Amino acid sequence: MNSCFRVKNLLSAYLDRELTGEEMLLVRDHVCQCAECSAEFEELRWVKSSLLTMPMVEPSDDLLDRVKGAVFAVVAPVPTAETRRKSIATIGMAAAMLFLVFAVMRWVEVQGQSPIVAGDRSDFAQGQDTVVDVRGSYSPGSPVMLVSAPE
């Protein structure tokens, strides 16, 4: 009985020759002696051979063309390791250029805001006053106070 239970679970694999040599011998010997397992084996063999001989279903004549049309119309370019690497490098390069542009703009801005020392009258001519105190700090837009040594 135990032998039947074990063998029945191996019948399909036996049919497909997917058992080890030892298991094959076990099943073969048992099937030869056991009418019930032999009948089950024949039924499984019938199912397998019926599936194998099922008639082919013919695809439509234009199936390949239709599928090709869909595949190459819908699908984006295939990314490969090489293109991915290049994409990352391109993004990196663009980011670096952007950083450079911002850095230059900032530098120009800082240069444009340099303190005006006494003697430089160009801002006065334009009506823009800059004050420079004795400690060297300045504040744009305040009234002019000339630097002089304490008496």
Residues that bind other proteins (CB under 8 A): 9, 11-13, 16, 18, 43-44, 47-48, 50-52, 54-57, 59-60, 63-64, 66-68, 70-72, 74-83, 86-87, 89-90, 93-94
Judged by beta carbon, residue 10 or residue 132, the one nearer other proteins is 10
Whole-number minimum distance, CB 2 to other proteins, in Å?
Answer: 18
**Which residue bears the tokens 């099943």?**
27
Q: How far is the CB of 145 from other proteins (least distance, A)?
A: 48
**Burial zone of 57 (CB within 10 Å; 0-12 exposed, 13-18 middle, 19+ buried):** exposed
Tell me the C-alpha to C-alpha distance, in Å, between residue 149 and each of 124, 130, 133, 134.
22, 19, 11, 8
Token output for 109? 């801005």
Nearer to other proteins, 68 or 106 (CB): 68
Amino acid present at 11: L
Based on CB atoms, which residue is closest to other proteins, 94 or 98? 94
